[in-house]
Amino acid sequence: MGNDWVEVADRCFVRRYPEWDLSVTVTAGSEASLVVDTRATAAQGVELRAQVAELPVPPVGFVVNTHVHFDHAWGNAAFAGLPVWAHDNVLADWDSYVARFRGSVRDAPDEAATRALLNTPLAPPDRSVTSVALLELGERHVELVHPGRGHTDGDLVVVVPDTDLLCAGDLVEQSGPLWYGVDCWPLEWAQTLELVVGLMSDATVVVPGHGDRVDKDFVLQQRLDASDIAGQIQQLAASGVAVDDALARGTWPIAAERLGDAVRRGYAHLGR
Structural domain of residue 191, as residue ranges?
Answer: 6-269
Q: How far is CA 198 from the centre of its chain?
A: 18
CATH number, position 18: 3.60.15.10
pTM of the model: 0.97
Q: Whole-angstrom Cα distance, residue 31 to residue 54?
A: 16
Whose CA is closest to 174, among 214, 223, 216, 124?
Answer: 214
The yes-or-no verdict on residue 67 having pLDDT over 60 is: yes
pLDDT at 108: 82
Quote the percentage of the chain above a pLDDT of 90: 95
Residues of the chain with pLDDT > 70: what percent? Answer: 99
In total, how many domains does the chain have? Answer: 1
> pLDDT tens for residues 3-14?
799 999 999 999
Tell me if 70 is assigned to some domain: yes
180: in domain: yes
Q: Over the stretch 201-241, which tens digit does the pLDDT of each residue have?
A: 999 999 999 999 999 999 999 999 999 999 999 999 999 99
Residue 123 lies in a domain: yes
Asked whether residue 145 is domain-assigned, the answer is: yes
Residue 143, in any domain of the structure: yes
- Computed on alpha carbons and rounded to an integer, the radius of gyration of the chain in Å comes to 18
In a domain, 1, yes or no: no
The verdict on residue 141 lying in a domain is: yes
pLDDT of residue 118: 95
Q: How far apart are CA 261 and CA 78, in angstroms?
A: 32
Tens digits of per-residue pLDDT, 166-212?
Answer: 999 999 999 999 999 999 999 999 999 999 999 999 999 999 999 99
Helix or strand holding residue 163 (H, E): none
Residues whose CB is less than 8 angstroms from the CB of residue 185 and which lie 6 or more positions away in sequence, other chains included: 149, 150, 151, 152, 153, 192, 265, 269
- Alpha-carbon gap, residue 176 to 153, rounded angstroms: 21
pLDDT of residue 2: 55
User: Which pLDDT does position 217 carry in this prediction?
Assistant: 99
pLDDT > 70? residue 249: yes
